[in-house]
Amino acid sequence: MTLPGERVAVVTGGTRGIGAAITRALIPEVGAVIAVARDRVEMDGVEVLTCDVTDASAVTNTLDGIGQIDVLINNAGTSTSNPIERTSDDDWHTMLSVNATAPFLCSRAVVPGMKERGFGRIVTVASTAGLHGSPYITAYTASKHAAVGLTRALAAELEDTGVTASAVCPTYVKTEMTDRTIRNISERTGAGIEDSWRRLADLTPHGRILQPEEVADAVIDLIGDPTANGQIRELDGGS
């Protein structure tokens, strides 16, 4: 897919899980890859910058400091699981801040430069929870629906500018975040870890957990397709 010219890509939450897989997949495709994360982690071939992507001033300072940004991957995310009556105000605000406000802030920061140059790719990593309702994850589901809505609105606004906005919506992925979900299931049900993984896989349409590299492949496809504006690609574990 290699993009023309010395394109610069930024991946939020780009040092772990899905983000790390996307970062690695981008290295041969662009001129430079910058991972933005809460903590500084060394990655070969990648510059890592620390930033709280829920803080408007921090986002502006960090992304303006990079200069030209041609590809933005809004990947930073978090999750929580509780019945609604046990979902705290902090849970609600955290889900919206990380999963919805952060993509908004980062997209707002890069769009003017992309429009000026007549080229840009914005891909947001949402979730199948952004397309369907699921029990016990009300705050997470609402935040991912917001991320999908943001993408659709951006795509409509950016039509005919050379800038595209799209999203991937994966089902459960084998990451540290999902590991935490598995531990919660195990603690609540008394089931073993392996049995909990099977239970989680059974909740997916095709009975399997995705690998981070599968999400990265979908992101790379969207970046390389200039007609992909407004695409919301569901990754449900099927072929």
Token representation of residue 152 = 């659709």
Angle at alpha carbon of residue 162, lines to 158 and 167, rounded to 5°: 60
Asked about 140 being catalytic, the answer comes back as: yes
Nearest-angstrom CA–CA distance, 75 and 95: 13
Q: Which of 140, 171, 172, 175 is catalytic?
A: 140
Contacts of 183 (CB under 8 A, 6+ apart): 193
Catalytic residues, which ones? Answer: 140
